[in-house]
Amino acid sequence: MERIPILKLGDLLLVTIQVDMHDRLALTLQDDLTTAIVAHGARGVLIDISALDVVDSFIGRVLGNIASMSRLLSAETMIVGMQPAVAITLVELGVTWRHVRTALNVEQGMRRLRASLDGPRA
Amino acid sequence: MERIPILKLGDLLLVTIQVDMHDRLALTLQDDLTTAIVAHGARGVLIDISALDVVDSFIGRVLGNIASMSRLLSAETMIVGMQPAVAITLVELGVTWRHVRTALNVEQGMRRLRASLDGPRA
C-alpha cells in the first residue's frame, strides 16, 4: 500500500510530500503522522512541500488539520519549501492555517523549530 | 516536471524516494543530486528507500552509480531504511554496491555519517 514515509530526526519528524496526494493517501498520512508523534514522543513536525506545484483546498485543509492535531499532541508543525504559486493559491482558496508555521526550506525550518522547542516557552 | 526533492541539512543532503522510479526520474535524480553536492559543498548524502517495496536491477544500478559519483565529488553516500525483501532482491539480482554504506533508519545513518565525517579520516 502506498504510504508517505515519516523520518525521525531526534525529537522531530520529517515528511517530504512528493506526489499529488489523493484523498486516501492524505488521510493515511494524517493517521500515520499522529501515531508517529505519540510513538516517538516527537515535539515537532516538518512537512516539506517543495515538490508540490499545486495545492487544492482539500490538501490545504488536510495540512491545516495535521497541524491542529499535532498541536493537541503537543508537537509543533512547520511547513517548509512552499512555492510562491502555492502561497497565492492557498490565499485565493481562503485556506487559513491556524497552527501552522512556515519556513523557506527544511534547514531554516528545523533551526527555528529547535530554537522554539529549546526556548523559554518549552 | 516530476522531480525528487533534495533537502539540505547542514553539510548533508537528504533524499526520500517514495515513488517507483522510472528511468527518466532516476536519471534526473542523478543529475540533480550531483549538481546539489557541488552547489552546497555537501559532504554526505542520505537516501531513504523505506517506502520502496521492490527494487529492480535498474534502480539498484542507479543507486550504486549515484554513490560512486558522490564519492568522486568527495561526498559519502548512506542508503537507509531498506526493507528486508529489497535486500534479498538486490543480492539475488547480483547488484553490488561498492561505495554504498547502509543504515537501518535515517537517524542512525545521519549519526554514522556525521561521525565518519568528523572522525580522524575526515
User: Which ipTM did the prediction report?
Assistant: 0.77
User: Which residues are bridge partners to B47 per DSSP?
Assistant: B15, B79
Mean pLDDT for the stretch of residues A36-52: 95
Distance from C-alpha of B71 to C-alpha of B65, rounded to nearest angstrom: 10
CATH code assigned to A6-117: 3.30.750.24
Q: Residue A56 contacts by C-beta under 8 Å, 6 or more apart in sequence?
A: A93
| B6-104 to CATH, choices 3.40.30.160, 3.40.50.300, 3.30.950.10, 3.30.750.24 | 3.30.750.24
pTM: 0.85
Mean pLDDT for the stretch of residues B91-108: 91
pLDDT tier, B73 (very low <50, low <70, confident <90, very high otherwise): very high
Contact B50 A5 (CB under 8 A): yes
Cell 549538481 sits on residue? B35
A67-110 pLDDT per residue, tens: 999 999 999 999 999 999 999 999 999 988 888 999 999 999 99
Which residues of chain A have a CB within 8 Å of the CB of B18?
A: 4-5, 16, 18-19
Q: Quick one: DSSP state of residue B121?
A: T
Q: Which of A7, A32, A80 to mutate to test the interface with B (most CBs of B within 10 A)?
A: A7
Domain ranges of chain A: 6-117
Contact B107 A48 (CB under 8 A): no
Contact A9 B110 (CB under 8 A): yes
pLDDT tier, A20 (very low <50, low <70, confident <90, very high otherwise): confident
Neighbours of B52 (CB within 10 A): 19
Strands A44-48 and B44-48: unpaired
pLDDT score, position B122: 44
Q: Mean pLDDT of all residues in chain A?
A: 91
Rounded to 10°, the helix B84-93/B57-72 angle is 90
Mean pLDDT for the stretch of residues B24-53: 94
pLDDT score, position A121: 52
Which residues of chain A have a CB within 8 Å of the CB of B50?
A: 5
How far separated are the first and last CA of chain A, in Å rounded? 37
pLDDT score, position A96: 83
Please state, in angstroms and as integers, the Cα–Cα distance from residue A119 to each residue in A32, A40, A41, A79, B62, following that order: 28, 21, 18, 20, 43
Mean pLDDT for the stretch of residues A25-38: 94
